[in-house]
Amino acid sequence: MEAIKIESLSEEDLELLNSPLGLRYLFADRKTNVEKALRMVKYENDLKELQAGLIEVQNWTIKNGKKVVILFEGRDAAGKGGAIRRVTAHLNPRNYRIEALPKPTSEEKGQWYFQRYVNLLPKPGELVLFDRSWYNRAVVEPVNGFCTTDQYQIFMGQVNDFERMILESGTHLIKFYFSITKEEQARRFDDIKSSPLKKWKMTPVDERAQELWDEYTRYKIKMFEHTNTEQAPWIVIEADRKTEARVKVLEHILENLPKE
């Protein structure tokens, strides 16, 4: 067992470590790590309290017929999906949707770019979370050659007006960007590739993400410069540590949306 000074732990810390959750984390690994176990217990407790607050937010949304859109953007393996799962873990599934769109069909390619996103916007009393969004065209598509220069320029010229119209229709819009370091992305890719339960997540785009890191950065900076508006600002989440990132996301939602 890890050698620690008992006197350095508060009574509250000892109580947390002696709880069923604390004991589970204490003995989760062959080598006991008290500091990690304590951090995880506090994280789980904080998360539970924040998730209870999200239920109140959803109740307010339903009762008042409000519409909420939350975008989750960021590099591959930045932790967007995990954060979305924590947000929705205890919500009423009848009143929220998670949208993660595949590549557009041939018919959709002939439509106005924003059309398929318009079709997915929330109805009154509903919350919609986009696991990647229309901002694919701001970064992923130009970096990987999935759109033309003209298509990119048209998007950049329209996106702020599109979001203004969403807001003016009475919809609440929150835009999260998950920021991770190149080293952390490489570590997460290695973890995904080595796991038989996760390796299906790796795509050809993911495989090139490290090679194209600087190009992603260049387009990301341009996206922030043009679309970080007063009416629809970006909320940058430092996401190298997933637990802290998830807590920050929930805290921001609770701070910026009314509760019942």
**CATH code where residue 85 lies:** 3.40.50.300
Least confident of 81-95, 170-184, 191-205: 191-205
52 belongs to a structural domain: no
Across residues 115-140, what is the average pLDDT? 98
The two structure tokens encoding residue 66: 């409000």
- Compute the mean pLDDT over every residue in the chain, rounded to the nearest whole number: 92
CB atoms within 10 A of CB 1: 9
Number of domains in the chain: 1
Q: Which of 10, 90, 52 is nearest to 254 (CA)?
A: 52
197 belongs to a structural domain: yes
Per-residue confidence band for 1, with pLDDT thresholds at 50, 70 and 90: very low
* Helix-, strand-, coil-residue percentages of the chain, each rounded to 5: 55, 10, 30
41 belongs to a structural domain: no
Using the predicted structure, report yes or no on whether residue 10 has a pLDDT greater than 80: no
Q: How far is Cα 121 from Cα 29, in angstroms, rounded to an integer?
A: 44
Question: What are the beta bridge partners of residue 97?
Answer: 128
**Residues 74 and 138: beta-carbon distance below 8 Å:** no
Q: What residues have CB less than 8 Å from 226, skipping those under 6 apart?
A: 156, 159, 160
Cα dist from 45 to 6, 40, 52, 243, whole Å: 22, 9, 11, 12
27 belongs to a structural domain: no
227 belongs to a structural domain: yes
Per-residue confidence band for 6, with pLDDT thresholds at 50, 70 and 90: low
pLDDT of residue 2: 46
Across residues 93-120, what is the average pLDDT? 96
Provide the domain limits for residue 72.
Answer: 64-256
232 belongs to a structural domain: yes
Per-residue confidence band for 23, with pLDDT thresholds at 50, 70 and 90: low
40 belongs to a structural domain: no
pTM of the model as a whole? 0.89
45 belongs to a structural domain: no
